[in-house]
């Protein structure tokens, strides 16, 4: 992990050699773990003999452990300003890490400069592992984490993710299929979708699920494609769909924020929800219960996603095997909008 040593500071290796024990045994003593009293006596003598500095910071450097785990938000504008789930994911992850006495440190990547500096931070031993939200396969951080083999778990997965990096998420495709199917089952004939964030796995998978449910009835003209999961884009996407198909009677919006914007555009156009148009969202975020009418949507178990991601990283740090992918349940929730 480290480059050639330039100087004479005593290391855990020196202590282990002088005491005639393994490096792991020395680390257990330094970290307060159990060892035999003979081994402990030998190690304490060796520490004094070689001049090893057994303070917390130095021992962390020596064993390359920081007791910290990074939480990386790769799309800060949409995540921190718009995403209703990021806070709950962070709190879920923090709860698990805290119980394991690990400090969660959230790192924002908002520029190339940030990307490079965070890359150095991750490589520099300041964290033992990382949880990465909203990664895309071409992100330099994704490549870096694979290269330096940092214990890491993704929330969601880039479509062509290095399979060695585990992820936690939901079945976006299946849930999108289920919520669209319900629009069909309730008799809607001309159903469109406001697709968002197609460069992310979640956005692409939700469109795939919509296509699967629509089958032969899928009409590419009835897909409006917007860049972000955002209220304002929901307004724009809905206006575009209504221009293309005035007889539209069902809409799947790729997120609740998008659905809230769509609701506004439908209201502008004098279309009643659910009487004239059935509308469904995705996320079960705070938006869903605050629109009029409340949104039928897909429930995202955000806190559980955070917990599972943290557990996965901790297991990797401890050298234990982990599930390559964990998909949590994301059931459809029926309210008034469809």
Q: Is residue 36 involved in binding a second copy (CB under 8 A)?
A: no
CA distance 104 to 86: 14
Q: Which of 4, 32, 38, 124 binds a second copy (CB under 8 A)?
A: 124
Q: Least distance in Å: CB of 309 to a second copy?
A: 15
Q: Least distance in Å: CB of 281 to a second copy?
A: 15
Q: Which of 13, 28, 44, 80 binds a second copy (CB under 8 A)?
A: 80
What residue ranges in the chain does DSSP mark as E strands?
68-73, 103-108, 129-133, 152-155, 167-170, 191-196, 223-226, 250-253, 278-280, 297-298, 325-328, 332-333
Q: What is the SS3 assignment for 299?
A: strand
Nearer CB in complex with a second copy: 105/327:
105
Nearer CB in complex with a second copy: 110/160:
110
- Residues contacting 4, CB < 8 A, separation 6+: none
The residues pairing with 238 across neighbouring beta strands, listed in sequence order, are none
Q: Which of 49, 111, 164, 336 binds a second copy (CB under 8 A)?
A: 111
Two structure tokens written together for 80: 């921190």
Q: Least distance in Å: CB of 312 to a second copy?
A: 19
Give the binding-site size for a second copy (rule: CB under 8 A): 55
Q: Are 230 and 285 in contact (CB under 8 A)?
A: no
Q: Is residue 4 involved in binding a second copy (CB under 8 A)?
A: no
- Piece of the chain touching a second copy by CB under 8 A; list 26-34, 160-168, 260-268, 308-316: 260-268
Q: Is residue 280 involved in binding a second copy (CB under 8 A)?
A: no
CA distance 266 to 239: 8
Q: Is residue 91 involved in binding a second copy (CB under 8 A)?
A: yes
The residues pairing with 278 across neighbouring beta strands, listed in sequence order, are 250
Q: Least distance in Å: CB of 208 to a second copy?
A: 29
Nearer CB in complex with a second copy: 94/255:
94
Q: Is residue 104 involved in binding a second copy (CB under 8 A)?
A: yes
Q: Is residue 52 involved in binding a second copy (CB under 8 A)?
A: yes
Q: Is residue 56 involved in binding a second copy (CB under 8 A)?
A: yes
Give the residue carrying structure tokens 């951080």.
141
Q: Is residue 53 involved in binding a second copy (CB under 8 A)?
A: yes
- Say which DSSP state 153 is in: E
Give the residue carrying structure tokens 């008799």.
187
Q: Which of 4, 57, 185, 187 binds a second copy (CB under 8 A)?
A: 57
Q: In what order do the strands lie in the sheet with 250-253?
A: 223-226, 191-196, 250-253, 278-280
Q: How many CB atoms lie within 10 A of CB 209?
A: 25
Q: Is residue 6 involved in binding a second copy (CB under 8 A)?
A: yes
Q: Is residue 108 involved in binding a second copy (CB under 8 A)?
A: yes
Two structure tokens written together for 56: 């917390």
Q: Is residue 1 involved in binding a second copy (CB under 8 A)?
A: no
Q: Least distance in Å: CB of 6 to a second copy?
A: 7
Per-residue b or e along 138-164, where b marks 16 or more CB atoms closer than 10 Å to that residue's CB: ebebbebbeeeebbbbbbbbbeebeee
Question: Which residues in the 215-234 window bind a second copy by CB under 8 A?
Answer: 231
Can you give the binding site for a second copy, defined by CB under 8 A? Answer: 6-10, 51-58, 61, 68, 71, 76-77, 79-82, 86-88, 90-91, 94-95, 98-99, 101, 103-108, 110-111, 113-114, 117-118, 121, 124-126, 231, 260, 264, 267, 286, 290, 292
């Amino acid at each position: 992990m480290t480059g050639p040593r330039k100087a004479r500071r005593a290391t855990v290796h020196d202590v282990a050699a002088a005491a005639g024990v393994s490096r792991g045994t020395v680390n257990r003593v330094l970290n307060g773990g159990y060892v035999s009293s003979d081994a402990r006596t030998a190690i304490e003598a060796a520490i004094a003999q070689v001049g090893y500095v057994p303070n917390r910071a130095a021992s962390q450097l020596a064993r390359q452990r920081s007791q910290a785990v990074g939480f990386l938000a790769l799309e800060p504008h949409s995540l921190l300003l718009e995403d209703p789930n990021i806070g709950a994911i962070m709190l879920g992850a923090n709860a698990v890490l805290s119980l394991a006495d690990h400090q969660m440190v959230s790192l924002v990547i908002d520029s190339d400069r940030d990307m490079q500096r965070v890359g150095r931070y991750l490589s520099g031993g300041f964290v033992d592992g990382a949880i990465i939200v909203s990664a895309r396969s071409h992100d330099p951080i994704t490549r870096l984490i694979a290269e330096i083999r940092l214990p890491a778990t993704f929330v969601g997965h880039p479509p062509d993710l290095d399979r060695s990096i585990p992820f936690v998420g939901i079945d976006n495709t299946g849930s999108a299929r289920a919520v669209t199917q319900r629009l069909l089952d309730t008799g809607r004939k001309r159903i469109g979708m406001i697709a968002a964030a197609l460069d992310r796995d979640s956005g692409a998978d939700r469109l795939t699920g919509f296509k699967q449910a629509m089958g032969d009835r899928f009409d590419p003209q009835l897909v409006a494609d917007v860049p972000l999961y955002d209220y304002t884009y929901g307004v724009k996407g809905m206006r575009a769909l209504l221009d293309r198909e005035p007889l539209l009677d069902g809409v799947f919006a790729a997120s609740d924020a998008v659905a809230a914007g769509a609701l506004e555009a439908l209201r502008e156009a004098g279309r009643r929800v659910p009487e004239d148009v059935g509308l469904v969202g995705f996320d079960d975020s705070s938006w869903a219960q605050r629109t009029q009418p409340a949104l039928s949507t897909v429930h995202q178990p955000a806190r559980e996603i955070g917990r599972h991601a943290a557990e996965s990283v901790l297991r990797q740090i401890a050298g234990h095997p982990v599930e390559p992918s964990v998909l949590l349940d994301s059931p459809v929730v029926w309210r008034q909008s469809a």
